[in-house]
Amino acid sequence: MSIASNLESYKRLIQGTKCRLVAVSKTKPAPIIMEAYNTGFRRFGENRVQELKEKHLELPGDIEWHMIGHLQTNKVKVIAPFVSMIHGVDSVKLATEINKQAIKNERVIPCLLQVHIAEEKSKYGFEPNYLLETITAGNFDGFNQLKISGLMGMATFTDNTDLIRREFRILKQLFDQINSLATPSNIDFEELSMGMSSDYEIAIEEGSTLIRIGSNIFGTRN
C-alpha cells in the first residue's frame, strides 16, 4: 500500500466524524513526508525536539507540526516559535515554561495535558485524580498564552481490547469532568488525543478527536 492510499483510507474512515488525523512521521525522512504532503495532507506528529526542528526547517512552512513525545523544559524554546500543538504537557513546571516561551514568541501555544491511563508504569502523564486536583486548585490559571485544549493519553500495549477500551473511557470521563468545571478561559477543552495504529478503532468509538497514526501510514519503523 502507498502512503497516499493509506492516508486516503484514514480520511474515509473519519469523514463525517469529529476526529482528525495526526500522521506520525517520526524517524521518517523528508522525502517520505513529502509523499504525504503532496496529497494535500498537512498535520504531522514528531516525538523528538531536534528531529522536529530539522524537519520544520527543511519542509514546507504550511505544515502543522504536533509535538507528541515527552518534552523537557529546557527544550521548549526550540519548538515554541512554530509548533502547532504540544500533546505531552505533564507538569505545571512544563506548562509554566511553554507559557513563558509563548510570550517571548508573541503567540498562543495550544497544548494537551497528558494523562497516565495505561497499566504499564510510566514516568510521564498526570494521574487522573491528581490532574483534577491540580486544575481545581487553579495551578494552571494565569497562563494566558498557553491554551489548554484537552487531554492526551496512551492505552496499555496489549491485545486485550476490553482493557484498552476501559482506559480510553477513563480519559474520556476525565475530559467530560474537567469540561464541566468552571475553568479560566485558557482552559478550553475540545481535543481528546487518543488512538495509535494498534488501537485507533476503539479510540474513535470512545470519543477521540485526534488519532496519532504512524506505522499504518508510513510503514513500520526500525
Nearer to ligand PLP, 186 or 213 (CB): 213
39's enclosing H/E stretch is: none
- C-beta nearest to ligand PLP: residue: 214
> 69 near 124, Cβ under 8 Å?
no
Least CB distance from residue 26 to ligand PLP, whole Å?
6
Residue 117: partners with Cβ closer than 8 Å, 6 or more residues away: 125, 128, 153, 154, 155, 167, 168, 170, 171
Nearer to ligand PLP, 186 or 192 (CB): 192
Nearer to ligand PLP, 85 or 186 (CB): 85
Least CB distance from residue 221 to ligand PLP, whole Å?
7
Grid look-up 514546507 returns 60
Least CB distance from residue 45 to ligand PLP, whole Å?
7
196 half-sphere exposure, CB direction, 13 A CA radius: 16
Least CB distance from residue 121 to ligand PLP, whole Å?
16
| Residue ranges in contact with ligand PLP by CB under 6 A | 24, 26, 47, 68-69, 196-198, 212-216
Least CB distance from residue 47 to ligand PLP, whole Å?
4
Burial (0-12, 13-18, 19+ Cβ within 10 Å), 211:
buried
Burial (0-12, 13-18, 19+ Cβ within 10 Å), 109:
buried
Nearer to ligand PLP, 44 or 189 (CB): 44
Nearer to ligand PLP, 186 or 217 (CB): 217
